Structure 1
């Protein structure tokens, strides 16, 4: 989970100007924004995105929207770079505001257990210790209560930050850009 993610909120004209730049120039401009217009989700985006999908958000602010800067030049880390227009930002903000984290918290276990990746045998007594589990064995992994509790607590603050960020963007009539790097 080494990929970190950021959002920027900006007006539609500036979004269109930045979309016309070469990718490296667009990246430089986005990373030079005043921090009050930015949200750094660090690695929490990797679990917030599927949590919002599991909760059937009508607009997932991380995975929905249009490729940024466009389909051919989108940055492809994680879900790829995405932008949301003013109307979608307003819809996303309204849904985020109506959806307290307590609605998402019960979904953490199912999201974590559904994560893809290589699972290895951690039974030190097993002759297969350290070897990858078969898909069938991996599908039977149950995440412990303590891990679920810690992850649930860990994701609460980034979710609240995301809600505040989108409230401000909607209030100011702004668009958003999401990217992971």
Structure 2
């Protein structure tokens, strides 16, 4: 049976699997949210499929995106990563990731990184009902506010457009089109798990 999907994922099996199983599914776990935000920062200027194809190499290079590990890195690690052909080799983005790890740890200790992000949508996914991709914005007031607060805490590569793409990916907003098979499934996952 052919499933109706949002047209942005095309026919690439890796992209359609990402669309069907990850994009728009609410993510509540702090480290996973941080990883996705970092990868969205690396995407800046590139197609998401490029990052998706390199995601496992990123995870290996950045030691599972463990902020406590990355926060201790310095210039030698930046040089090592610049030599890794499996990832996007961009000094500014690599250095930002190290600084973003330090910022994550500070936020996590003070208030919890997940709560810090999810408060921008009042703790529940926004349920949009767009019929076409043209209706979906590239940024919103909530994305601008989150971007501003992230930057105030020391994050880089987190402008409003990057942040809105991150919010879509992590299910803070459900931007699956109403005709897409994943829209209602993601909507049904809107309640935050207990615990």
Please say whether Structure 1 and Structure 2 have the same fold, judged by a TM-score greater than 0.5: no
Is the radius of gyration larger for structure 1 or structure 2? 1
TM-score scaled by structure 2? 0.26
More strand by share: 1
TM-score scaled by structure 1? 0.28
